[in-house]
Amino acid sequence: MSRVPAPDVSIRRGRAADAGGILALEAAFPSDRMSARSVRRFLGVPSARVLIADRAGEVAGALILLLRRNSHWARIYSVAVDPRYRGCGLGRRLVEAAHGLARRERRQGVSLEVRADNVAALGLYRGLGYVEAARLPAYYEDGAPGIRLRKPFGRPRRTRR
């Protein structure tokens, strides 16, 4: 899919000023969109990390990773790329950056839920090693089914001497 030339984008932590840009990306979702209040909360709480794909100060993509204290798993709550910049690797870069954060937080892996008909997202996650953990009938507000995917990191192998 990544056939479009990659725009000059860096991945950085989100800040309060990104709230508007993140909300604009929410228009991509057919249901279960985040409210302005939730976005501002995610930008401020220690149990969430917001990653921004920044193109010259503009929010070209965003990912919200939840790091709940009572879970061994990190959870990707939301990821979206501006339609103008899709297909050039930004989604993959955001998810890989989230993996880096989850590993640094010593999580067992990453889990997430995705609409069963979201071909692009399923392609993205499967390409990064996610496997199906559960089918979730009528999971979304509009009644659409979901799929829970998980990517376990596995233990780093010990090298023999």
Please count the residues of this chain forming the interface with ligand COA, following the rule CB under 6 A. 21
Residue closer to ligand COA, measured from CB, 35 or 155: 35
The half-sphere exposure of 126 on its side-chain side, counting CA atoms within 13 A, is: 10
Task: For residues 84 and 82, give the distance between their C-alpha atoms in angstroms, rounded to a whole number.
Answer: 5
Q: Is 1 in the site for ligand COA (CB under 6 A)?
A: yes
Radius of gyration over every alpha carbon of the chain, rounded to an integer in angstroms: 16
Q: Is 60 in the site for ligand COA (CB under 6 A)?
A: no
Mark the segment that binds ligand COA (CB under 6 A) among 32-40, 66-74, 90-98, 131-139. Answer: 90-98
Residue closer to ligand COA, measured from CB, 20 or 83: 83
Contacts for 157 with CB less than 8 Å, ≥ 6 apart: none
Task: For residues 153 and 74, give the distance between their C-alpha atoms in angstroms, rounded to a whole number.
Answer: 11
How far is C-alpha 69 from the geometric centre of its chain's CA atoms? 19
Beta bridge mates, 75: 66, 111
Q: Is 86 in the site for ligand COA (CB under 6 A)?
A: yes
Residue closer to ligand COA, measured from CB, 16 or 119: 119
Task: For residues 20 and 134, give the distance between their C-alpha atoms in angstroms, rounded to a whole number.
Answer: 33
Mark the segment that binds ligand COA (CB under 6 A) among 16-24, 33-41, 116-124, 134-142. Answer: 116-124
Q: Is 89 in the site for ligand COA (CB under 6 A)?
A: yes
* Residues of this chain that bind ligand COA (CB under 6 A): 1-2, 28, 79-81, 86-92, 114, 118-121, 123-124, 127
